[in-house]
Structure 1
């Protein structure tokens, strides 16, 4: 080997040595990176593979009526979850669980896809609220189902079925939008309040989850408990609602669409808040099926609408309370002002009728309220004007939200001249004032607004905000928040004017020819006002008896009242959709509640005087 070949071999040897040293250096650097720089992170990941964090659900707070009777409590609710990291053969587990849960494989795959963006350590919810035989089978075959776990959650038990369903609401599985909103405080399998009290007071009711750390083996089976932190129960809500009165109202509304509101006139406490038809609360546990959801959506009686605060109707003759107040307060009438009712009157060539076609004769304020004479209130409305009617209506709580702590409350509508110009680009007509004066035309109200109006009239002019929570109670039984009455305003007009109107309403129930005589009681003096709200006037139905008019074209039936007349305690408002006549359809429901309240069948409460 000559010198040149020796030098070439030496160069090749040096290159090989350099490559070996470089590879060794890379290996050392990588080891330093893994062991020193990222060592703590990988140690934590290793421990996470060995240690599992289990969230312990907190018992949800109970919902009680005003006398402490449990309306909604908790019951065990069993979900099936799957941790994919602990399953050596995922496809086998999917097939097995589809058979055990009696669902299609596609349904399980759908749930897995929905959870694709969740952290891998979080379990995937396969099915909610499994039955007892399924639970027992899974527990007995646990070692054949690696990664499958039973999650025990507190669900809801409705002690009185669907009672007050629109008020209490329901729970449902949390969705992606809610998960993003609430961050780390919820898991994908959690239930959350979706409607009503369950949603409004979610933070108070849900409590705080506990934690449990356990050591698991390579297959995910639990070996030992490392640490446990107990959950904190949610707070109980004691409502102002009375279960007995609520039951009476809802039984009376059965098979009808409508609403009943009953309020303490001296505080704003709601004793009854009933909307019919009710929601089927049991259907929502574990998730309502699309079939049942569509059936409820297509129900012509519209169960999803909370008619107490979302149903907007013409007030009919209940609005005559406003017209009378405006007339007295503006000096347009006195109690002795007489208008003659011949059954109709002419205005600019158009004839406007009274409900009593034969007429009421000479009518003063008391008679007008007692017999609900339309002609009298046509005259008062024309004298006062629509803008003044609106002013007094708003002061009594109409045309605005009541402020009740419930979402999606409707404000109703109190029309004015400027409103019509904005809305229709047209001038106001005097004939429209006549319609408004008897509660027709553009007027719209909710049953809660009419009850608030009645309560304001009854107590002498103070408008209390309607409320339904009496107190918030912690796990130790301590009241952490009590009821405080809230005054939102006062009625325009004098106490004397309000007293005159109350006297007219007492006559409507207790005197001959009174439209509300059905609500008359032997021992309690009641004041009330009937109302018939026109839905539509079609010529082809005018000649028919009311019972022969198609349901959707029938008038709505109103009755609103207060008692006892001398020192009012409660106000009740009843609305029956397409009930035709307030005196025959709505007043009997109010009377049933009056009898129950004053005859002691409803449990007495410390706030009752």
Structure 2
């Protein structure tokens, strides 16, 4: 009998032990491989990817915050504050601390009892900005609202209240158009110019013209936060904030206040210059508005009231509106006539109250006639017939040339937004715009400041300055020393003296048209103008515009001006008194500044004060 050893017990035990050993070996191999794989992964995470993960962990502990720049202040020539920043609170949404920004804002709106629409619109507009940049959802809130939000922070985990200085204009409406105003940056400005949501930027006036200098540049700071995202402390500055530069202007705050008071709510504009440098001493447009409205939360109703007001309070009439100059243009006509020698200083023209030119009778404002008048008398008495004759002799091309020499028909370069060029007509202009030639009869109207001739109050102040300073067209400017050198108009001093004497007699002579512009202690020179206003479709005559341009004192000019009162009637009664009031104020300031010098001189000369 043959025995199968595989059936024997020892053999079976041997095979079972062997299989167990193989299984243990496989298991040991798998465990060892697992440890090797784990060690490899650990090494990769610690060594290869360690820097990235450390940065991610750090970002969970640190938060980037924008540092808002403080806008630079504006001061007048004497250092008086014209625009500064007042304390205020603003409510911001931190989008890094919420998964649903809109829901967070809706919760805030319910908490404050305010409609959420405006706040939600701000959140939507900020979608393109970096998420770490907080969204301004409520600007310019009071201390009570700020305290309520701070007291309920657990219920509003993504809402912060920060101090947020707002622009303040101490002069209010008295300097609104020249200073302008600021409002919140738009979505386009945030995307294209690197501004912060809610950052205040200039929209009009000097605030816009010098916005980059005034607004500064935002910075970025690192802040440590806890596990709930609450700030613990500020650690470092990634990008330093650059605060805006303050600017000192050529303006005189006292003159701005004086003009505003003198207009008494009437519409118009006034510009006062240093006739030698072109520095703008005062620039006013009325009716005005309070620029402080735009620093806070301007309601839709307030905005609608401003833009739909038929008196157009937002319009800067001093630089952006063009008017017919009326008889003030006779100053240019006198300069052109003398400069081109179509009239001589002593030459006289007879005014019988009217004269026929090109088949049409043209009238003088004084129907009885002025009799024989020369250029000085024609300026003093504003004789139309004299200047009809001068215009006929000159022709439109030479008139246009001299008008441009004085700065008419072109922007002055003052730098304020929306400056108008005005219009000086010519044959080329008419052919280009109307497809027909210029007719000689049209020149007669232009000769007395009517027809298609338009000027701004700023341009007329530059004209007055050129007569005052000896024939230099100045470049008006608002920053000290920023004006370019004057340009000669090409008129000799003898001719200028005849024009100045005629303008002096406009005010100082009993025959003049602006006797109400007299100022005690000095002589004032000027020229009145009454510009006809025709509005198609209106049954009621709105009244003519009133002009007065000039300079003072005649012996040593220190101020030149142009004053316009819309629908004021006659320049001598409506505009001249405003000029006199402002010149009087300017004279008081000048004498007060000179008083210490006078006392020193008297002491040096041994005189009693």
The two structures share one fold, judged by TM-score above 0.5: yes
- Residues 140 and 344 (structure 1), Cα distance of their counterparts in 2 relative to 1, 3 Å cut: same
Provide the residue aligned with 1:129 in structure 2: 140
Post-superposition offset of 1:179: 1.8
- Residues 312 and 88 (structure 1), Cα distance of their counterparts in 2 relative to 1, 3 Å cut: closer
Q: Which moved more, 1:88-97 or 1:49-58?
A: 88-97
Post-superposition offset of 1:467: 1.0
Match of 2:456 among 446, 453, 477: 446
Match of 1:267 among 266, 269, 277: 277
Q: Deviations over 1:110-158 (max 9, x none)?
A: 3322223333222222111111100111122223321211122222122
- Residues 178 and 392 (structure 1), Cα distance of their counterparts in 2 relative to 1, 3 Å cut: same
Output the TM-score relative to the length of structure 1: 0.87
Q: CA RMSD in A?
A: 2.9
Q: Deviations over 1:329-360 (max 9, x none)?
A: 11111122221112111123321111112221
How do 1:250-265 and structure 2 match up within 5 A? 250-265=260-275
Q: Deviations over 1:450-504 (max 9, x none)?
A: 000110111001112101112xxxxxxxxxxxx2542242112212111110110
Post-superposition offset of 1:53: 1.9
Provide the residue aligned with 2:541 in structure 1: 550
Provide the residue aligned with 1:423 in structure 2: 433
Whether 1:170 aligns to 2:211 is no
Contact 2:102–2:120, Cα closer than 8 Å, also in 1: no
Provide the residue aligned with 2:417 in structure 1: 407
Q: Which moved more, 1:319-328 or 1:227-236?
A: 227-236
Whether 1:529 aligns to 2:527 is yes
3-state SS in 1 of match to 2:319: coil
Match of 2:493 among 477, 495, 502: 495
Post-superposition offset of 1:288: 2.6
- Residues 379 and 208 (structure 1), Cα distance of their counterparts in 2 relative to 1, 3 Å cut: same
3-state SS in 2 of match to 1:465: coil
Contact 1:173–1:287, Cα closer than 8 Å, also in 2: no
Distance (whole Å) between structure 2 residues aligned to residue 182 and residue 94 of structure 1 = 27
Distance (whole Å) between structure 2 residues aligned to residue 535 and residue 519 of structure 1 = 24
Post-superposition offset of 1:243: 0.8
Whether 1:57 aligns to 2:57 is no
How do 1:225-374 and structure 2 match up within 5 A? 225-227=234-236, 231-374=241-384
How do 1:472-483 and structure 2 match up within 5 A? 483=481
- Residues 227 and 537 (structure 1), Cα distance of their counterparts in 2 relative to 1, 3 Å cut: closer
Provide the residue aligned with 1:591 in structure 2: 580
- Residues 507 and 26 (structure 1), Cα distance of their counterparts in 2 relative to 1, 3 Å cut: farther
Q: Where do 5+ consecutive residues of structure 2 fail to align?
A: 1-33, 599-609
Output the TM-score relative to the length of structure 2: 0.87
Contact 1:86–1:218, Cα closer than 8 Å, also in 2: no
- Residues 538 and 129 (structure 1), Cα distance of their counterparts in 2 relative to 1, 3 Å cut: closer
Distance (whole Å) between structure 2 residues aligned to residue 540 and residue 285 of structure 1 = 38
Q: Which moved more, 1:264-273 or 1:89-98?
A: 89-98
Provide the residue aligned with 1:153 in structure 2: 164
Distance (whole Å) between structure 1 residues aligned to residue 249 and residue 156 of structure 2 = 45
- Residues 267 and 492 (structure 1), Cα distance of their counterparts in 2 relative to 1, 3 Å cut: same
Post-superposition offset of 1:532: 0.5
Distance (whole Å) between structure 2 residues aligned to residue 408 and residue 280 of structure 1 = 20
Distance (whole Å) between structure 1 residues aligned to residue 177 and residue 36 of structure 2 = 71
Provide the residue aligned with 1:217 in structure 2: 226
Contact 2:208–2:417, Cα closer than 8 Å, also in 1: no
Match of 2:507 among 501, 506, 509: 509
Provide the residue aligned with 1:384 in structure 2: 394
Contact 1:320–1:377, Cα closer than 8 Å, also in 2: yes
Distance (whole Å) between structure 1 residues aligned to residue 69 and residue 348 of structure 2 = 67
Post-superposition offset of 1:398: 0.8
Contact 1:258–1:275, Cα closer than 8 Å, also in 2: yes
Match of 1:206 among 215, 218, 231: 215
- Residues 90 and 323 (structure 1), Cα distance of their counterparts in 2 relative to 1, 3 Å cut: closer
Provide the residue aligned with 1:580 in structure 2: 569
Provide the residue aligned with 1:180 in structure 2: 191
Distance (whole Å) between structure 1 residues aligned to residue 556 and residue 577 of structure 2 = 22
Match of 1:196 among 192, 205, 218: 205
Query: What count of residue pairs does the alignment treat as equivalent?
Result: 566
- Residues 221 and 113 (structure 1), Cα distance of their counterparts in 2 relative to 1, 3 Å cut: same
Provide the residue aligned with 2:31 in structure 1: none
Q: Where do 5+ consecutive residues of structure 1 fail to align?
A: 1-22, 471-482, 542-548
Contact 1:400–1:411, Cα closer than 8 Å, also in 2: yes
3-state SS in 2 of match to 1:335: coil
Contact 2:353–2:385, Cα closer than 8 Å, also in 1: yes
3-state SS in 2 of match to 1:53: strand
Provide the residue aligned with 1:393 in structure 2: 403
Distance (whole Å) between structure 1 residues aligned to residue 316 and residue 44 of structure 2 = 63
Provide the residue aligned with 1:571 in structure 2: 560
Distance (whole Å) between structure 1 residues aligned to residue 570 and residue 39 of structure 2 = 92
Post-superposition offset of 1:211: 4.1
Post-superposition offset of 1:248: 0.6
- Residues 48 and 604 (structure 1), Cα distance of their counterparts in 2 relative to 1, 3 Å cut: farther
Contact 2:328–2:549, Cα closer than 8 Å, also in 1: yes
Contact 2:346–2:375, Cα closer than 8 Å, also in 1: yes
Post-superposition offset of 1:273: 0.5
Post-superposition offset of 1:83: 1.5
Q: Deviations over 1:370-406 (max 9, x none)?
A: 1101011000100111111111111111111111122
- Residues 108 and 398 (structure 1), Cα distance of their counterparts in 2 relative to 1, 3 Å cut: closer
3-state SS in 2 of match to 1:308: helix
Distance (whole Å) between structure 1 residues aligned to residue 262 and residue 447 of structure 2 = 30
Distance (whole Å) between structure 2 residues aligned to residue 495 and residue 466 of structure 1 = 23
- Residues 64 and 24 (structure 1), Cα distance of their counterparts in 2 relative to 1, 3 Å cut: same
- Residues 324 and 139 (structure 1), Cα distance of their counterparts in 2 relative to 1, 3 Å cut: same
Distance (whole Å) between structure 2 residues aligned to residue 394 and residue 159 of structure 1 = 38
